[in-house]
Amino acid sequence: MKRHLISAADLTRDDAVLILDTAEEMARVADRPIKKLPTLRGRTVCNLFFEDSTRTRISFEAAEKRLSADVINFAAKGSSVSKGESLKDTAQTLEAMGVDAVVIRHGASGAPYRLANSGWIDAPVINAGDGTHQHPTQALLDAFTMRRRLIGPDAGIGQDLSGKRITIVGDVLHSRVARSNVDLLHTLGAEVTLVAPPTLVPVGVETWPCEVSYDLDGVLPKSDAVMMLRVQRERMNAAFFPTEREYSRRYGLDGDRMARMPGHALVMHPGPMVRGMEITAEVADSGRCTAVEQVTNGVSIRMAVLYLLLGGNEPAVTNPRTEEK
Ligand code: NCD
């Protein structure tokens, strides 16, 4: 596995399966009365959030605390410093304080890559979502949820998602979740179909390892999981569809549409959901929707990633950075 986690495309099949298997072990910690492991005792992890987040930020923090790391939260929202300067200055401050890992979310695609390859900082960097580019831990928690539900927690160990048919629906153009999922699901052997209005399909999608369809009703009966995406209004500078009603009618998932899916098929959503837009309340609250389970699984996945990137299998005292302090 590489030193940083910047893109889902950087993961080999074996890396991804190792993370999913490690996350299964981490999930067992959540069932204990005391949900904590001493693994990252004495290590400091900084959560650097330049963009809004609820689930991802809380999830990383919970994962770090369950592994006994010291946690520094930095919410950069509202800073008047320009993005480049701010990132460099902040990185140098963190380096001076001796952080052992940085989790970064940034509105600019490529910011985590820049941080990891700049020489400003010597710690592993984990991308928690950059612009419209990548959100690798989201793709991993989605794959973990699919493997658990479609194969089983125990039967799934060591397995990938070969032959599973996954449909991703909505604002693919602005979605780092869609990009990361296409990369990871392909690596794991799944067949991915994207469904979106033509205006929300990215240029160059023909080079992606997936199919594209405009016929949601035709694709639903052939899906093992249907992942609904939020329309990312904050990233839009033009009208990409006539009205919200029109969007919901053609690309939203309601009870009638859900009935077209096979009985075992899952409805997934990374959150935040806009009920009434891409998903109705009936579907969001149904037993087939895994949105809440995805959040739970996110903690296990982030524990696994931190554990593997920080070499959590070694005792903390053998970490030279810790010994220097
Ligand atoms: C997503 C994101 O921020 O990329 N949410 C998440 O991390 N759970 C998707 C979204 O904002 O719609």
Which tens digit of pLDDT belongs to each residue from 199-234?
Answer: 999 999 999 999 999 999 999 999 999 999 999 888
Specify whether the CB–CB gap between 253 and 278 falls below 8 A. Answer: yes
Return the ligand 1 atom nearest residue 52 CA: 3
pLDDT band at 116 (very low <50, low <70, confident <90, very high): very high
Mutate to test the pocket of ligand 1, among 103, 138, 231, 302 (most ligand atoms within 8 A of CB): 138
Is the CB of 230 inside a 6 Å radius of any atom of ligand 1? yes
Per-residue pLDDT tens over the stretch 67-112: 999 999 988 765 544 555 678 888 888 888 899 999 999 999 999 9
Residue 6 confidence (pLDDT): 98
Query: From the CA of 272, how far away is ligand 1's center (Å)?
Result: 6
Whether residue 106 has its Cβ less than 6 Å from ligand 1: no
- Whether 134 and 11 have beta carbons less than 8 Å apart is answered as no
| pLDDT computed for residue 202 by the predictor | 96
* pLDDT per residue as tens digits for the range 136-145: 999 999 999 9
270 in contact with ligand 1, CB cutoff 6 A: yes
Retrieve residue 67's tokens: 């592994």
pLDDT in the model for residue 240: 87
Per-residue pLDDT, 35: 87
Domains of the chain, first to last: 8-135+295-314 (3.40.50.1370), 137-290 (3.40.50.1370)
Q: 135: Cβ below 6 Å to ligand 1?
A: yes
- CB of 271 shorter than 6 A to ligand 1: yes
Instruction: Tell which wins on pLDDT, 61 or 1.
Output: 61
- Write the burial class of residue 239 (CB in 10 Å: 0-12 exposed, 13-18 middle, 19+ buried): exposed
Position 83 scores a pLDDT of: 56
- Which residue positions form the known binding site for carbamoyl phosphate? 55-56, 105, 135, 138, 271-272
Q: Measured from the CB, is residue 170 less than 6 Å from ligand 1? A: no
Distance (Å, rounded) from C-alpha 213 to C-alpha 132? 21
> Does the beta carbon of 269 lie inside 6 Å of ligand 1?
no
Q: Integer distance in angstroms from the first to the last C-alpha of the chain?
A: 27
Query: Using an 8 Å Cβ cutoff, are 261 and 227 in contact?
Result: no
Give the pLDDT of residue 207.
97
DSSP 198: G
Give the pLDDT of residue 313: 54
Rg (C-alpha) for the chain, rounded Å, is: 20
Q: Residue 322's pLDDT is what?
A: 42
For residue 298, the ligand 1 atom closest to its alpha carbon is 8
Distances (CA, A) of 259 to 187, 221, 271, 283: 30, 9, 22, 10
CA distances from 87 to 121, 126, 187 (A): 11, 15, 32
Q: Is the CB of 223 under 6 A from ligand 1?
A: no
How far, in Å, from the CA of 111 to the mean position of ligand 1?
17
Rounded Cα gap, residues 10 and 248, in angstroms: 34
Query: Does ligand 1 lie within 6 Å of residue 132's CB atom?
Result: no
Mean pLDDT of 321-325: 41
Could you tell me the distance, in angstroms and rounded to a whole number, from the CA of residue 270 to the centre of ligand 1?
A: 6
Atom index in ligand 1 nearest the CA of residue 271 equals: 8
Q: Compute the mean pLDDT over every residue in the chain, rounded to the nearest whole number.
A: 92
pLDDT-based confidence at residue 5 (cuts at 50, 70, 90): very high
pTM of the model: 0.93
